Amino acid sequence: MRIIFMGTPEFAVPVLDALAEAGHDVVAAYSQPPRRGNRGKTAPSPVHARAEALGIEVRTPLSFRDAEAQAAFAALGADVAVVAAYGLILPRSVLEAPRLGCLNVHGSLLPRWRGAAPIQRAILAGDAETGVGIMQMEAGLDTGPVRLEGRTPVNDKTAGELTAELSAMGARLMVEVLGDVDAYPAVPQPEDGVTYAAKIDKAEARLDFTRTADEVERQVRAFNPAPGAFFEVHGERVRVHAAAVLAERGEIGTVIDDQLTIACSEGAIRPILVQRAGRGVMTSAELLRGFTIPVGTRL
């Protein structure tokens, strides 16, 4: 099948790889333009880099608002466009240009968690289950009918772990659908149960000990690996990569023992893996050997 691929982050790379491995003709890859990274260097997106390695032409328009970009897309004569976390709004002319339209790999069980951050929002909300859907795109925000979906328990997975799992699942499902599109009719989403997954604000990563311990622990998992959940002490940010929930009680936001257990509104959390700025990941015991946080410290 003649395919245009549209994606930007690491989540989309396994989907691109699966299309190439299945023998499809990926005629072009669209990705967001190279961005300046943490060290000030401009770098291509993960999809951009992978597509170039596969010998696929890469296009990085800033938008599809102008007629020239839309015409260039249509001129590729694709059977279908496969979209995975691309990050740009596609106008109707683009959605309808390929013979079979545009199919999106979306990381939730629609209509729950339409929008930018479905995986993190599912963890934060304490969802027991999530998944990935192959959605026929239309003009609304993730409102299109779904051709196929897969499910998985959330359990104690981090956003990074769940992203990798759903990416691989989405890649398999997309190849399955493209193998016989007619066998997977587009089923409209239910009208009930719609929720929206707003983009993650970095300020949300600050641990909020006025919440229950379960909710705080979900913050830790939802923001691992990025932007990274944290608390501040001695004027320094300490990132928390993993934490345990305990039944202990104490003054909210206060360290209640010599193992860095922190009281929440209900229960307490004990950070297991932490990281100071400019340092590697370490256990809480390793942190406390060189960075004293006395019992009674309010975070």
Confidence band for 41, pLDDT divided at 50, 70 and 90: confident
What is the predicted pLDDT for the residue at 38?
Answer: 67
**Do β-strands 236-246 and 25-30 pair in parallel, antiparallel, or remain unpaired?**
unpaired
Q: Is the dihedral of CA 178, 183, 184, 186 positive or negative?
A: positive
Distance from C-alpha of 291 to C-alpha of 253, rounded to nearest angstrom:
18
What is the predicted pLDDT for the residue at 36?
Answer: 82
Mean of the per-residue pLDDT values for the chain?
A: 96
CA distances to 62, 141, 169 from 14, in Å? 24, 23, 9
pLDDT above 80 (res 241): yes
Residue-wise pLDDT for 276-286, tens only, equals 999 999 999 99
Nearest to 236 by CA among 182, 297, 191, 183: 297
pLDDT above 70 (res 250): yes
Distance from C-alpha of 228 to C-alpha of 230, rounded to nearest angstrom:
6
pLDDT above 70 (res 259): yes
Q: Is the peptide bond before 227 cis (omega within 30 degrees of 0)?
A: yes
What is the predicted pLDDT for the residue at 67?
Answer: 94
CB 36 within 8 A of CB 27: no
Q: Mean per-residue pLDDT for 139-164?
A: 97
Nearest to 225 by CA among 288, 162, 287: 162
Residue-wise pLDDT for 186-207, tens only, equals 999 999 999 999 999 999 999 9
Task: Please give the radius of gyration of the chain, using alpha carbons only, rounded to the nearest integer.
Answer: 22
Residue-wise pLDDT for 123-136, tens only, equals 999 999 999 999 99
Phi, psi (5° rounding) for residue 222? -65, -30
Phi, psi (5° rounding) for residue 134? -100, 105
CA 245 from chain centre, in angstroms, equals 24
